[in-house]
A and B are shown apart, each in its own frame.
Chain A
Amino acid sequence: MAPHHANNMGSSSMLNFGKKARYVLLGSFLTMLCSQGSHATSVDDVTKIIEQAVHSQSQARSEGYGWTITATYIDQAKSKLAAGQTDSAMATAQRALLVANKSLDQARAEKTAWQARVPTL
């Protein structure tokens, strides 16, 4: 009896495993679908990021802290967007925003940091 019982236990657990596997596959499929939906980049999303980058860039420039790379990234992002390469445009726009914000951070930090570099007698 014992082996037969063991066999029963085995086929039942195999059935359970098969069910679980189907749920996992279904879940993964649904997750993939959902994630594709949530990450689809729209022209508006990219435009918004470019606008934020331009805003930070102009703030940094007004303090004499413009970085050359910011303008390069902004121009590239606009060109890619115009060419319909939305995902690539988004990646470049995010880089533009990052460096624009870094240049602003530098402008803020240097308001006082320079003082420590002045030679003294």
Chain B
Amino acid sequence: MKLLIPGVFLSLLIATPVLAGPDEDLAAFKALYTKRFPSIDLQAHKDGAYALNEEKREQWLEMEEFPPYEIAVDEGVDLYSQVFPNGGSYADCLGESAPAVKQNYPRFDQKTGEVETLEQKLNACRVANDLKALEYAGEALASIVAYIAMESRGSLTNVVVPDDDRALAAYTAGKQYYYKRRGQLNFACSSCHVQNPGMNLRAETLSAAIGHTTHWPVYRGKWERVGLLHERFRECNEQVRAEPLAHQSESYRNLEYFLTFMNNGMELNGPASRK
């Protein structure tokens, strides 16, 4: 009996991070990076690795003088502004603050009981207006999101996990995905971006997880075009030799939900360019 009480107490202590809710997770996340990088303002992490490496930041700022994502944004303006054959438009579907809505996505849809991303919302809008859904890996959708991201710049990330068991389950599934090791190389997302930010992996500086969702979609030099967040998730999986999931799969949407919630309060600065 004497051993039982401390044992139960210890088990509760160990279980705390698992049982912690979204708000506790967010507070711990912010505290981690504040402690790890005391001289870097938390908001500066919206620039990813360029907040941690001065030389690379200078190169990046030079690149941003003629941003390679500009063409995609221009195409996005045209695509977004087109009126549908039935007279509808994307703006009708996105609500009052359209097109500056990126800060509110992904969101939990209480009708379907699932996480809804901005890309899904745009395609649902097209289908509701008798148009074909756009390809999730395609450039047209990425361009529209790039334009919406540009219009949302300066807004603060504001993802909500409502008081709904299904929303909490989706958030928790995303959290688990983030911390679980996978692939032949046995890496979790957190292995690089929670355990080792600021360290080098070959020639690359590992960025902090905080700020990871603020700047999407991104023009990546290796892609030579603008791509969406789930494309990066797939690439990360492949880099650790895990089989990637489908774009907009439930697991990736839950992962995006968790990761974006961990960026609540961070300023949106997308689209952006990366190597």
Contact = CB atoms under 8 A, between A and B. Distances in A.
B186 to A, nearest CB: 7
A66 B251 CA distance: 14
Interface string B14-52: 111110100011011101100000000000000000000
B204 interface: no
Interface stretch (B64-72, B118-126, B154-162, B240-248): B240-248
Nearest to A109: B181
A120 B21 CA distance: 11
A80 B36 CA distance: 51
B243 A66 contact: yes
Majority SS of interface residues in chain B?
helix
Nearest to A72: B241
B172 to A, nearest CB: 11
Contacts of B245: 64
Interface stretch (B55-63, B136-144, B187-195): B187-195
A117 B28 contact: no
Interface residues of A, number: 22
Most buried by A among B175, B180, B195: B180
Nearest to B14: A115
Interface residues of B, number: 33
Most buried by B among A65, A110, A121: A121
A65 B182 contact: yes
A120 B183 contact: no
A68 B14 CA distance: 34
A102 B251 CA distance: 22
A68 B241 contact: yes
Interface string B100-123: 000000000000000000000000
A119 B29 contact: yes
A69 to B, nearest CB: 5
Contacts of A120: 16-17, 20, 28
B17 A64 contact: no
A112 to B, nearest CB: 9
Contacts of B184: 67-69, 99, 102-103
Interface in B185-234: 186, 188, 190, 194-195
B130 interface: no
A66 B15 CA distance: 28
Given A64-B251, A65-B242, A118 B20 contact: yes
B179 A117 contact: yes
A110 B186 CA distance: 10
Contacts of B194: 117, 119
A101 B102 CA distance: 42
Most buried by A among B16, B177, B181: B181
A118 B18 contact: yes
B176 interface: yes
B238 interface: yes
A114 B24 contact: no
A114 B180 contact: yes
B180 A110 contact: yes
Given A64-B251, A66-B242, 9 more contacts: A64-B177, A64-B245, A66-B243, A67-B184, A69-B184, A106-B181, A106-B182, A116-B17, A118-B175
17 contacts: A64-B177, A65-B242, A68-B242, A69-B184, A69-B241, A103-B184, A113-B180, A114-B180, A114-B188, A115-B15, A117-B190, A118-B17, A118-B20, A118-B25, A119-B17, A119-B25, A120-B17
